[in-house]
Amino acid sequence: MSGAKRKTPADQPELPMTESKPPTPEEANPKPAAKENGNGNGAHIVAEDVPAVAHRAFEPGRIEGALHKRVDRSFLDYASYVIRDRAIAHLADGLKPVQRRIMWALKEKDDGRFIKVATIAGHCAQYHPHGDVSISDALVVLTNKRYLIEGQGNYGNIYTGDPAAAPRYIECRLTPLAREEIFNDALTEFVPSYDGRNQEPVTLPSRLPLLLMLGSEGIAVGLSAKILPHNFPELLAAQIAILKSQPFKCLPDFMTGGLMDARDYQDGKGSVKVRAKIKVKDEQTVVIKEIPPGTTTESLIASIEDAAHKGKLKVKSVNDFTSEDVEIEVRAPAGVDAEKLVDALYAFTACEVSIVSRIVVIRDNRPVELTVSDVLRANTAQLVDLLKRELELRQRQLEDELFFRTLERIFIEERIYKRIEQCKTNEAVLAAVFDGFKPFRKELARDLADADVERLLQVRIRRISLFDINRHREEMDKLKAELAEVKKHLKNVKGYAIAHLEGLLEKYGPQYPRLTTKSSRHEEVDAKAVAFKAFKVAYDRESGYVGYKVNGDEFKTECTKFDKLLLVFKDGTYKVTELPEKMFVGPELFYCGLPDRESVFTCAYTDRKASYLKRFTFGGTILNKAYLCIPDKSRILFFATGTPKVLYVRYKPALHQKVHQQTCDPAKIDVKSPKTRGRMLSIKDISSVTAEPTRGWDETAATTEIVFV
């Protein structure tokens, strides 16, 4: 980011030596003049203006406005710098500035041998003003992406997350692909480096779709980019399809492999789901062979242990045998099926991740958001343009070489060099050569120039004495054939580009197979369905607590982390609550279980005037909201899930009472809502309602069945 040049004492104008005089009122309080801040309009005042303003009456509006403009301008400068020169990759070559400077430093140092990373970092520091640590880290990342830099030594492990060795211990060099397809000094635009001592490329003349090959991630001021890496051969095939006006489609490909569901990718504006590749080893053991991008074996194991700790799945042991390939063995406890464990790993751990794609790049010095198709079409158009410019450059070189070879033949065969033996001045030598070529003007493609004569005069005597006309003609024929081929390609640059891409595809396609397996659709995993029942809820009536950390003997229920509890109290109040660790509910709990909208409950209650029986389902409820399943000021006599075959009703003894017990069939009552009143059992005082005969039930007495009216 450019900044205003600081004034030094040497920059201050020299003041004339005069006698000191008392200042006049105008001199003591001069009118402040707005100073220009590099934009020529004088709108921004600099620090030197503030003391001058202080001598005048306070003008808050003027000062605040100037400060607001200064802050706005400085913030925009900073934001523009971070976006264009730090965080966001360029569309032309797919590289961030630090990556481009690394590649240029490698090109300058390249001699085919491995070079210490510390050496490259030091050399690159003359272009990149942010320290050698950032350079070394970016170089390691580029090397691990395989395409452009070949590494030797410990560059870390993308599976385990182990860091690379220190820069002084590891070496690197350009790959053949980078040497052949990334650089061309004649077509590279240069700008001064940050200190003005060197020249660095604006962008590299890349003939590869590097942006989608490498992928990129960056966070700038006000925007972020997340470009997923794609498969190199598939990108080349897509470029061929573009040149042939055929449909194409490209999907991401990650170095860590995995199984990918790209239904929502939306040409780079959506997201993909990537799963680990899990194989069932035996009935209780599964092995993770590939992991999703953005995870490591360490983070994946941590997510498994965390899910097990929270009770979302049951795991007996986790062993990491990863070396060159990922191998994480997960064993389930007895009674847990391996297939269900696989579903739980996808549902509750980092074995499945969702990655959002947002392709933001620098184009025409501005950030823009594009799709995969937009990027590929731009890269393909750039490839055609670069190939055309290379052909035009080669054509000029061949024509110049043919012209000079013709000059050289005439110069030697016609012994024009003999004419300069008697010349005593440079002007005479030039004139003699020009005169010697006048008879042969028709054989030349253009007029002779001073530079051509200077080049001829540098031909050595040995070359003149050993000149072989037959060999010279063979060389001329080769140059003419190559020139004809170049002109042929220039007439059909698109076809030449297709041939170039097909050659790359044939050469490099087998080296870069797809690592991430494409899947048209993942089987959706219902987290609630695959959750393990790892929590045992119980109720202790003596203490009044319920939960999975309560030691009680009543209402024991196995639950998952996602389950809710239905609590029904003796006064008919009920509510649904989250799975509690230890919650006080008091000694009046009548029922505790898992809520189910389809489950039928049978309830008998009394309101002191009569007793009623009903069947109902609880239906939907709001969490932690209290409801009533019997009228207010009533009392539950019997409550059970399902429908008992028979209910045994015993009455309290009363004067002149002949019937002391009866039975009834609850199945004869329709199932309704909890608010229904139900069918009347009796107006007598009921002692008990049970589903089984209890102590006090007279098996010998005649028992009638209650008839519901």
Whether 396 and 455 map to the same domain: the answer is yes
What is the predicted pLDDT for the residue at 47? 38
3-state SS assignment for residue 527: helix
Whether 677 and 564 map to the same domain: the answer is no
Whether 183 and 113 map to the same domain: the answer is yes
Residue 83, in any domain of the structure: no
DSSP string, 98-150: HHHHHHHHHHHH-SSS-EEHHHHHHHHTTT-TT-HHHHHHHHHHHHHT-SSEE
Residue 220, in any domain of the structure: no
What is the predicted pLDDT for the residue at 107? 96
What is the predicted pLDDT for the residue at 164? 95
What is the predicted pLDDT for the residue at 693? 85
What is the predicted pLDDT for the residue at 523? 56
Residue with tokens 């070879």: 405
Q: Angle, to 10 degrees, between the axis of helix 117-124 and the axis of helix 97-109? A: 110
DSSP string, 18-41: ----PPPHHHHSPPP-PPP-SSSS
Query: pLDDT of 482-533, one tens digit each?
Result: 999 999 999 999 999 999 999 999 999 999 999 999 875 555 555 565 566 7
Range of the domain at 419: 382-511
Checking if the pLDDT of 33 tops 70, the result is: no
Whether 482 and 407 map to the same domain: the answer is yes
Checking if the pLDDT of 677 tops 80, the result is: yes
Per-state percent for the chain, helix, strand, coil, to nearest 5:
35, 20, 45
Tell me the C-alpha distance between 217 and 400, whole Å: 46
Checking if the pLDDT of 146 tops 80, the result is: yes
Residue 226, in any domain of the structure: no
Query: pLDDT of 312-345, one tens digit each?
Result: 888 889 999 998 899 999 998 887 888 888 888 9
Cβ-based burial of 182 (10 A; exposed 0-12, middle 13-18, buried ≥19):
buried
Active site residue 169: yes
Give the residue-averaged pLDDT of 72-92.
Answer: 85
Q: Give 177 or 27, the one with higher predicted confidence.
A: 177
* pLDDT band at residue 398 under the 50/70/90 scheme: very high
93 with 210: CB under 8 angstroms? yes
| pLDDT over 70 percentage in the chain | 88
> How many CA atoms within 13 Å lie on the side-chain side of 231?
22
Alpha-carbon 331 to chain mean position: 31
Kindly report the average pLDDT of the chain as a whole number: 85
Checking if the pLDDT of 288 tops 80, the result is: yes
Tell me the C-alpha distance between 210 and 92, whole Å: 9
Tell me the C-alpha distance between 661 and 627, whole Å: 32
What is the predicted pLDDT for the residue at 41? 39
What is the predicted pLDDT for the residue at 524? 57
Checking if the pLDDT of 23 tops 50, the result is: no
Strands 115-116 and 171-174: antiparallel
- To which H or E segment does residue 227 belong? strand 224-227
34 with 49: CB under 8 angstroms? yes
Residue 318, in any domain of the structure: no
* pLDDT band at residue 102 under the 50/70/90 scheme: very high
| pLDDT over 90 percentage in the chain | 45
Three-state secondary structure readout of 145-189: CCCCEEEECCCCCCCCCCCCCCCCCCEEEECHHHHHHCCCHHHCC
Whether 464 and 501 map to the same domain: the answer is yes
Structure tokens at 36: 């220009």
Last residue of a domain, one of 206, 240, 263: 206
Checking if the pLDDT of 44 tops 70, the result is: no
Whether 453 and 557 map to the same domain: the answer is no
Whether 638 and 552 map to the same domain: the answer is no
256 with 264: CB under 8 angstroms? no
Whether 504 and 402 map to the same domain: the answer is yes
Sign of CA dihedral 53, 56, 62, 68: positive
Last residue of a domain, one of 511, 544, 574: 511
* pLDDT band at residue 104 under the 50/70/90 scheme: very high
User: Could you tell me the CA-to-CA distances from 256 to 267, 276, 277, 514, 551 in Å, in that order?
Assistant: 22, 9, 10, 11, 46
Tell me the C-alpha distance between 346 and 525, whole Å: 7
Q: For 202-296, where are the alpha helices, taking DSSP H only?
A: 210-214, 232-243
**Domain containing 110 — which CATH number?**
3.90.199.10
Give the residue-averaged pLDDT of 576-597.
Answer: 88
Whether 612 and 581 map to the same domain: the answer is no
Choosing from 81, 169, 591, 651, the catalytic residue is 169
Give the residue-averaged pLDDT of 11-20.
Answer: 39
- DSSP code for 326: -
Query: pLDDT of 588-611, one tens digit each?
Result: 888 898 888 888 999 999 887 889
Number of domains in the chain: 4
Whether 388 and 499 map to the same domain: the answer is yes
Tell me the C-alpha distance between 290 and 269, whole Å: 26
Q: Give 421 or 538, the one with higher predicted confidence.
A: 538
Q: Give 589 or 81, the one with higher predicted confidence.
A: 589
Whether 490 and 568 map to the same domain: the answer is no
3-state SS assignment for residue 666: helix
Residue 604, in any domain of the structure: yes
Checking if the pLDDT of 376 tops 80, the result is: yes
3-state SS assignment for residue 463: helix
Residue 14, in any domain of the structure: no
Strands 259-261 and 517-519: parallel
What is the predicted pLDDT for the residue at 521? 56
Residue 583, in any domain of the structure: yes
Least confident of 144-153, 260-269, 533-542: 533-542
Spatial CB neighbours of 435, under 8 Å, sequence gap ≥ 6: 419
Residue 352, in any domain of the structure: no
Least confident of 165-169, 366-370, 419-423: 419-423
Tell me the C-alpha distance between 216 and 380, whole Å: 19
**Domain containing 391 — which CATH number?**
1.10.268.10
Last residue of a domain, one of 143, 176, 206: 206
Whether 587 and 601 map to the same domain: the answer is no
Q: Is-above-0.75 flag for pTM?
A: no
Query: pLDDT of 211-258, one tens digit each?
Result: 999 999 999 888 899 999 999 999 999 999 999 999 999 999 999 999
